[in-house]
Amino acid sequence: MSTYSAIAMDHDHHHHDHHPHGHRHPVRRAWWRRALHRLTPHSHDTAGKVDACLEASRDGLRALWISLAILAATAAAQAVIVVVSGSVALLGDTLHNVADALTAVPLAIAFLVGRRAATRAYTYGFGRAEDLAGIVIVAVIAGSALAAGWTAVDRLIHPASVTHVPWVAAAGIVGFAGNEIVARYRIRVGRRIGSAALVADGLHARTDGFTSLAVVAAAGGAAVGWRWADPLVGLAITVAILYVLRDAAREVYRRLMDAVDPTLVDTAETTLRAVPGVRDVTAVRLRWIGHRLHAEVDLVVDAELSLVAAHTVAADAEHQLTHAVPRLMSATVHTDPVGQAGAHHHTR
C-alpha cells in the first residue's frame, strides 16, 4: 500500500504566506537581487524562503563583522597595557577577547557557505557548515585557555611586580564594556534570524565581560602589594574560559548529533494531533541545519480517504506545524492509512 505524502517547503514562523499555491515577490528589488533571484534555482513555493535566508545571512554577517571590529579594538587597547604593565591577568583576558573576536571568522565563512543552493551531492544544502565552524570555535577557545593558564602558572612560579596599576584597572573596565556591547548585539541579531551559533557566541562574549572585571580585582591586589593576586586572578580567568569551553563543546556535540529541545518535539506532536483528520502521530523527527529547523513526521489517517483528501490533511498538518514550531523551514509529512479494525500499515 503506497504512502500518501505531502511535502511542503519554506514557511517562516513569523512571515507565513497564506496563499497555498503561490507567493508574491516584492515589486521593488535592487538590480542585484533581481539577478540573484533569476540565477538561483528555486520553485515558486521556495523563492520567498530563499530570499529570507539570504537576508538572515546578511544580518548575521553584519553582526559578526561589527562585533569583530569592536572586540579587535578592545583587545588591541588591552594588549598595549599588557606590554607596559606585565599583568598576566590582563594577558589572559586579552587572549580571551582575541579568541572571541576570531570566532567571527569561521562563523562568517559558515554563513557564506550556507547560502549555496543544494546540489545533487549535498541535497540538504550547506547549512551544516555552521556546525563545522563550531568545532573551530571550540578549538580556538581551548587554545586561549591553554595560553592563559600556562602564563599564570609561570608567573606564580616566577613572581613579578605589576606596574601601571590604574591603567590595568582601566583596561579591565574597557574589556567589560566592549564585550557587553558585542554580547547584546550578537544575541539580539541571533534571536531575530534564528542562529543558535550567533546567540551562543553572544553569551560567550557576555561571560568574557565578567572575566574582564576580574582584572580590576587583580589590579586592586597589585596596588596593595599582593604579587600573587595577579597570577591567581589569571588562573581564575582560565577556569572561567574552561567553563565556556565545556558549554560550547557540549552545544557543538548536540548539534552534530542532531539533538533538539524536547519541548519542540512536544509542541509538534500536540499540534499535529489537533489537526482534523489525523488519527495518530507515529513519528516526529526534527533536526537543525544551520539556523533553520527541518521536520519529518508520520501521521495515521482513515483508510477510506482518497489520495486528494489525504494530501489535504497532510498539507493542513504541515501548515499548522510551521506556525507552531519556531524557525521551521521545511516539513515532510507522510500519511499512512489505518483499517477499520485499527491495523496500521506503514510503507516507505
Query: Residue 297 sits in which domain range?
Result: 4-24+260-338
- Whether residue 45 is predicted with pLDDT greater than 70 in this model: the reply is no
What is the rounded CA–CA span in Å between residue 90 and residue 346? 63
Whose CA is closest to 114, among 61, 150, 185? 61
pTM of the entire predicted model:
0.67
Strand ranges (E), the chain:
4-9, 280-289, 292-302, 328-338
Does residue 152 share a domain with residue 87?
yes
136-183: pLDDT as tens digits: 878 877 887 887 788 778 777 877 677 777 888 888 888 889 888 988
Does residue 12 share a domain with residue 81?
no
Tell which of 256, 284, 307 closes a domain. 256
Does residue 196 share a domain with residue 291?
no
Per-residue confidence (pLDDT) for residue 55, from 0 to 100: 58
Per-residue confidence (pLDDT) for residue 321, from 0 to 100: 94
Tell which of 223, 256, 289 closes a domain. 256
Does residue 272 share a domain with residue 246?
no
Which residues pair with residue 9 across a beta bridge?
A: 330
Does residue 86 share a domain with residue 175?
yes
Give the ranges where 29-164 is alpha helix by DSSP (H). 31-39, 47-85, 88-102, 104-114, 129-157
Does residue 212 share a domain with residue 294?
no
Per-residue confidence (pLDDT) for residue 205, from 0 to 100: 79
- Whether residue 47 is predicted with pLDDT greater than 50 in this model: the reply is no
Q: pLDDT > 70: what percent of the chain? A: 79
Which three cell numbers, joined as nine digits, stand for 46?
Answer: 521556495
| CATH number of the CATH domain containing 281 | 3.30.70.1350
Q: pLDDT > 90: what percent of the chain? A: 21
Structural domain includes residue 266: yes
Most confident of 105-114, 120-129, 246-255: 120-129
Structural domain includes residue 238: yes
Does residue 16 share a domain with residue 76?
no
Pairing of strands 292-302, 328-338: parallel
Which three cell numbers, joined as nine digits, stand for 96?
Answer: 580571551
Structural domain includes residue 34: no
Which residues have a Cβ under 8 Å from the Cβ of 188 and sit 6 or more positions away? 202
